[in-house]
């Protein structure tokens, strides 16, 4: 079965700054192995991507090392209002960190949020990490200035209910949900292994996400690799790798009749392309074996994380081949696209 190349609007490639966790070559190898041909990378790198110089640095590294196509977000900061808006065309979107998570980019002052909501072009993606009550404030702000806002990794019953109500009211809100929030509860992992933002929810949270599938515009991995040593250590950072498990998990849910293949493709390709204004890729597709049964394991995966929260899960549905702009980029477990093969979607 042939499907379009998938698009992940939320990944962390860790380059520059933390290439022991991931780099553009390893992260985009993981993307291709997972059936993704376009990824949008978050700005919480070191240095963070917040101005012309850091965007250029990160874009140059991506251009050299990425094996699939990519875009780079800018991070909203305390003093980059005008500068960020000027760079809108060169970036995939503007990311606002409104709650504490991994990295230095949290914005506390709501007047600053408002200024960014106003300064950023309404026709370019604006994405917020906003949990719980912060989400309510972010939705209000988008409504006040009457602009689109995309909510990253919705994870709880409260949050999906709020997004649903906002959509019913006609607010220009879209949202994504990560596979780990659809397939895991907080009781499934222990200690540092469970650390992720937003945190894993309860059974009720997971059920509410599935019950509100119609409200979910995209499935985004929030691929946030940290090494096994870091996760097992004294100060475990939040985040899970996800690029190489997302599609098999979703295809297994299709096999179980929890949603349709079309539901999956809309949320991992069509809607993402529309919401984020991502250019089409000619001669690009993914060949799937829908019946192939296999076991998820970090062994054989391409991410530098070296572990997966889904270790040992029996799944159905395998990526056989990925063709990227006319050339085979992945086949039978082997990544063929070289670093530098990827193109920037915002060139």
What is the Cα–Cα distance from 12 to 42, expressed in whole angstroms? Answer: 5
The helix-helix angle for 157-168 and 203-211 (nearest 10°) equals: 30
Restricting to residues 94-113, name those near Zn ion by CB under 5 A.
101
Question: Mask of contacts with ligand NCD, 92-131, x by CB under 6 A?
Answer: ---------xxx-------------------------x--
Site for Zn ion in 214-243 (CB under 5 A): 222
Q: Which does 102 bind (CB under 5 to 8 A by kind): Zn ion, ligand NCD, none?
A: ligand NCD
Binder to Zn ion among 95, 129, 150, 304 (CB under 5 A)? 129
Q: Choose the one of Zn ion, ligand NCD, none that binds residue 239, judging by a C-beta under 5 to 8 angstroms depending on kind.
A: ligand NCD
Residue 128 zone, left/alpha/beta (φ > 0; ψ -120 to 50; rest):
beta
Least distance between Zn ion and beta carbon 180 (Å): 11
- Which position among 196, 319, 322, 329 is part of the footprint of ligand NCD (CB under 6 A)? 196
- Rule CB under 6 A: say whether 181 interacts with ligand NCD: no
- Asked if 23 is part of the footprint of Zn ion (rule: CB under 5 A), the reply reads no
Q: Which does 238 bind (CB under 5 to 8 A by kind): ligand NCD, Zn ion, none?
A: ligand NCD
- Residue 239 near ligand NCD by CB under 6 A: yes
Closest distance to ligand NCD from the beta carbon of 228 (Å)? 15
At its nearest, how many Å lie between ligand NCD and the CB of residue 10?
A: 7
Q: Is 75 in the site for ligand NCD (CB under 6 A)?
A: no
Among 197, 223, 231, 341, binds ligand NCD (CB under 6 A): 197
User: Which residues lie near Zn ion (CB under 5 A)?
Assistant: 101, 129, 222
User: Which residues lie near ligand NCD (CB under 6 A)?
Assistant: 12, 44, 101-103, 129, 196-197, 222, 224, 238-239
């Amino acid at each position: 079965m042939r499907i379009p190349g998938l698009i992940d609007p939320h990944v962390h490639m860790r380059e520059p700054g933390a290439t022991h966790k991931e780099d553009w070559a390893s992260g985009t190898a993981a993307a291709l192995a997972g059936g993704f041909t376009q990824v949008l990378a978050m700005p919480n790198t070191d240095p963070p991507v917040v101005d012309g110089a850091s965007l250029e640095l990160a874009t140059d590294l991506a251009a050299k090392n990425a094996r699939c196509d990519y875009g780079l977000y800018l991070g909203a900061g305390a003093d980059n209002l005008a500068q960020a808006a000027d760079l809108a065309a060169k970036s995939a979107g503007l990311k606002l960190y409104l709650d504490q998570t991994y990295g230095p980019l949290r914005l506390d002052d709501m007047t600053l949020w408002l200024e960014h909501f106003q300064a950023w072009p309404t026709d370019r993606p604006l994405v917020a990490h906003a949990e719980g009550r912060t989400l309510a404030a972010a939705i209000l702000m988008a409504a006040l200035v009457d602009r689109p806002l995309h909510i990253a990794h919705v994870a709880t019953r409260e949050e999906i209910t709020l997004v649903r109500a906002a959509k019913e009211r006609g607010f220009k809100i879209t949202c994504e949900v990560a596979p780990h929030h659809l397939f895991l509860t907080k009781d499934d992992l222990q200690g540092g292994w469970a650390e992720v933002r937003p945190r894993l929810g309860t059974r009720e949270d997971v059920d509410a996400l599935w019950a509100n599938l119609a409200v979910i515009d995209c499935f985004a991995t929030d691929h946030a690799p940290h090494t096994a040593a870091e996760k097992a250590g004294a100060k475990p950072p939040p985040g899970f790798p996800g690029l190489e498990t997302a599609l098999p998990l979703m295809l297994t849910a299709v096999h179980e009749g929890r949603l349709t293949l079309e539901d999956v493709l809309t949320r991992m390709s069509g809607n993402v392309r529309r919401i984020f204004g991502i250019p089409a890729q000619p001669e690009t597709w993914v060949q799937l074996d829908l019946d192939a049964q296999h076991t998820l394991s970090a062994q054989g995966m391409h991410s530098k994380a070296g572990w997966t929260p889904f270790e040992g899960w029996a799944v159905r549905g395998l990526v056989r081949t990925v063709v990227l702009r006319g050339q085979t980029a992945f086949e039978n477990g082997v990544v063929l696209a070289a670093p530098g093969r990827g193109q920037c979607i915002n060139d």
